[in-house]
Chain A
């Protein structure tokens, strides 16, 4: 059992118990297993290996560092007094022996990544680090073997240890979260196919066009198909953002991704799963983009210039001394490389990102990786999805407008709507389920007109529930006049009620906005362009205008592909986009945008692939998060300046000829550790000021 991952491994005898029995048993105790084909065993093993590898490297580097320090201690304290040369030799060679695993195993990642980058004509921060490390190692060997001087082995081990610690700190991951999901994890694993009247389960991927499939209550339509028998109530809220379920009749095309409610329906598949309307989105270029962005990050940009300057100084001083003394030239050359090794510099980003990641995590804002912070700080446009993002999708408010209904009237409505499985009927039923009605109310002449309404005679009184046209069908105009005053809000979804051929009023269904969304928007609108893009109709335009003001773009009836295109369009207009969404319909836009954030009420639920996940309750803090990511980037810049100053001081000392192993041993770790401390203090300070801790 693995508690943090919320997973359990079960061993069972497959010849005696079937997998299905195991699943049934586990479900019966309340832990329904999640069926997932996302990660195969090989990938999991690879991830595990990576984690283990880093831990091992740090452990070994730490072990060697400790012992090297111990053996170097006499040298530190020997100012003036001479150490027994024999002992010194032994200590020095032991040091070399201990440094071998550190240099060749623990630090190997830096050399490999620097070499890979150089091969691609690209200089990363690992390049000057590798140069510095190699210079330290070679110079130490040279000093020890030829002159029996103490080398810089202690500094070397210390630096590698610190660098690896930085890596570990940045590699904080959220094990229970998955940022790489696509439609496959939302779709069912198998589907029931009807062949010659026989039901058979086949994997969804093997579904072919022309096949008949059976979809039961609550199941998801896996592929675009035509309705063959039964009445379908399809909830597309996850796909399109439209919160009201759609009713479909025979012969209509049903797009994949909807969830069906009601009695089982038969469908004929017209497109395969991967070619369906919804899943086509994943064939878009946005999903083929490799993870490495074209935008160089700050560290790489700075390190490019840095490397060039260092190499210039190193070669310059080397050439300068070459005229006098070859030994001195080598000395100067390696000293510059060692002193200028941008270790403090390389530690800045991992520690700053790692710490910010933790602060965000404490506020239930989970980033996929540290570099998202940098992307987030560059944002200038924020795009919201409506349903599920700024509104609470599971929570629709049902309100009655018009003359107040009496208890008996409510009972009439309740009895009538109980007979319908239409989602709106069920919502009305839920809202008045508290009414205590007698069971002997009977409905006669029940009639359901699809997508219009229902009518019936309840204990002698005609009752109608439906849209205004349906209600007016058999009424004369005088009633229409009376009913007219209720039609105040033509945009929101309204269901009218008439009792005894008199229109009493209507039930209005509206989305409930998430708490704090108005504050978040107000906060954001000062510095960012805002837009709302939704698959829903424009019934909420007025409410959205109230929240977002006139400056924001509001787009309605947008298909998933439209959303992606919209993001692309404003990106070409130099917008850096933060997309906040929740459903499959946002998946394309989330991927296309610089930063995509998924909103979730329950982080273990399905979420489209994204860069970050935010808990629905914390969405009001989104402005704070963006601003704090900017602060983090400023802290990094400030730390860069500080580490440059250290390097200049070091170069100055080296030029004075006062660069001894002792100075190196003190100065270099001091650099790195002081930078780390500065970052922690600054980040902590600003997080407190912004109220994130």
Chain B
């Protein structure tokens, strides 16, 4: 019987981890555009000009895109 309880608590924990991953993915907007990411991988990476690299706010914004 205790085996069942342990199993269930483990399975629930794993499930909750996935739930959190799901919530994170929705919040970060991964469900909004399901087509573009498949195309974006074909482009070259965004190049950040040297003088802007140190500017944290700029590189953060570019990463977000």
Size bracket of the A interface: 20 to 34
User: Is A51 at the interface (CB under 8 A from chain B)?
Assistant: yes
Q: With A and B bound together, what is the CA distance between A11 and B52 in angstroms?
A: 12
Cβ contact within 8 Å between A13 and B52: yes
User: Is B12 at the interface (CB under 8 A from chain A)?
Assistant: yes
Residues of chain A within 8 A of B54, CB atoms compared:
none
Cβ contact within 8 Å between B23 and A4: no
Cβ contact within 8 Å between A56 and B1: no
Q: Mark A33-55, 1 if CB is under 8 A from B, else 0.
A: 00000000000000010011001
Cβ contact within 8 Å between B26 and A59: yes
Q: A11-B62, A87-B1 are in contact. Are A55 and B31 (CB under 8 A)?
A: yes
Cβ contact within 8 Å between B12 and A48: no
Q: Which of B26, B39, B40 contacts A55 (CB 8 A)?
A: B26
Residues of chain B within 8 A of A67, CB atoms compared:
12, 15
Residues of chain B within 8 A of A86, CB atoms compared:
1
Q: Mark A54-92, 1 if CB is under 8 A from B, else 0.
A: 011001100100110011000000000000101100100
Cβ contact within 8 Å between B32 and A59: no
Q: Mark B1-33, 1 if CB is under 8 A from A, else 0.
A: 100110010011001001100110011010111
By secondary structure, the B interface counts as: helix
Residues of chain A within 8 A of B29, CB atoms compared:
48, 52
Q: With A and B bound together, what is the CA distance between A59 and B24 in angstroms?
A: 12
Cβ contact within 8 Å between B61 and A11: yes
Q: A56-B26, A63-B19 are in contact. Are A51 and B32 (CB under 8 A)?
A: yes
Residues of chain B within 8 A of A56, CB atoms compared:
23, 26-27
Size bracket of the B interface: 20 to 34
User: Is A289 at the interface (CB under 8 A from chain B)?
Assistant: no
Q: With A and B bound together, what is the CA distance between A90 and B4 in angstroms?
A: 11
Cβ contact within 8 Å between A1 and B32: no
Cβ contact within 8 Å between A60 and B19: yes
Cβ contact within 8 Å between B39 and A3: yes
Cβ contact within 8 Å between B58 and A4: no
Q: A11-B62, A56-B26 are in contact. Are A87 and B4 (CB under 8 A)?
A: yes
Cβ contact within 8 Å between A59 and B23: yes
Residues of chain A within 8 A of B12, CB atoms compared:
67, 94
Cβ contact within 8 Å between B4 and A1: no
Q: With A and B bound together, what is the CA distance between A66 and B29 in angstroms?
A: 24
Shortest Cβ distance from B25 into chain A, in angstroms? 9
Q: With A and B bound together, what is the CA distance between A67 and B52 in angstroms?
A: 49
Cβ contact within 8 Å between A63 and B15: yes
Cβ contact within 8 Å between A1 and B36: yes
By secondary structure, the A interface counts as: helix
Shortest Cβ distance from A15 into chain B, in angstroms? 12
User: Is A5 at the interface (CB under 8 A from chain B)?
Assistant: yes
Cβ contact within 8 Å between A52 and B26: yes
**Most chain-A CB neighbours within 10 Å: which of B15, B26, B33, B61?**
B26
Q: Which of B11, B23, B33 contacts A5 (CB 8 A)?
A: B33
User: Is A9 at the interface (CB under 8 A from chain B)?
Assistant: yes
Q: With A and B bound together, what is the CA distance between A131 and B11 in angstroms?
A: 33
User: Is A2 at the interface (CB under 8 A from chain B)?
Assistant: yes
Q: With A and B bound together, what is the CA distance between A434 and B35 in angstroms?
A: 46
Q: With A and B bound together, what is the CA distance between A52 and B26 in angstroms?
A: 6
Residues of chain B within 8 A of A13, CB atoms compared:
52
Residues of chain A within 8 A of B32, CB atoms compared:
48, 51-52
Cβ contact within 8 Å between B22 and A11: no
Shortest Cβ distance from B45 into chain A, in angstroms? 14
Residues of chain A within 8 A of B65, CB atoms compared:
1, 9, 11
CB nearest neighbor in A for B12: A67
Residues of chain B within 8 A of A71, CB atoms compared:
8
Q: A1-B40, A13-B52, A90-B5 are in contact. Are A52 and B31 (CB under 8 A)?
A: yes
Cβ contact within 8 Å between A2 and B33: yes
Shortest Cβ distance from B12 into chain A, in angstroms? 7
Cβ contact within 8 Å between A4 and B31: no
Residues of chain B within 8 A of A4, CB atoms compared:
33, 35-36
Q: With A and B bound together, what is the CA distance between A86 and B4 in angstroms?
A: 12
Cβ contact within 8 Å between A11 and B23: no
CB nearest neighbor in A for B34: A4
Q: With A and B bound together, what is the CA distance between A548 and B35 in angstroms?
A: 45
CB nearest neighbor in A for B18: A63
What is A's interface to B at a CB cutoff of 8 Å? Answer: 1-5, 9, 11, 13, 48, 51-52, 55-56, 59-60, 63, 66-67, 70-71, 84, 86-87, 90, 94
The 7 A-B pairs at the shortest CB distance, nearest first, are namely A3-B36, A63-B19, A59-B22, A55-B26, A56-B26, A3-B35, A2-B33
Q: Would you mind naming 28 contact pairs between A and B with Cβ atoms under 8 Å apart? A: A1-B40, A1-B65, A3-B33, A4-B36, A5-B33, A9-B65, A11-B58, A11-B61, A13-B52, A48-B29, A48-B32, A51-B31, A52-B26, A52-B27, A52-B29, A52-B31, A56-B23, A56-B26, A59-B26, A60-B19, A60-B23, A63-B15, A63-B19, A66-B15, A67-B12, A67-B15, A87-B4, A94-B8
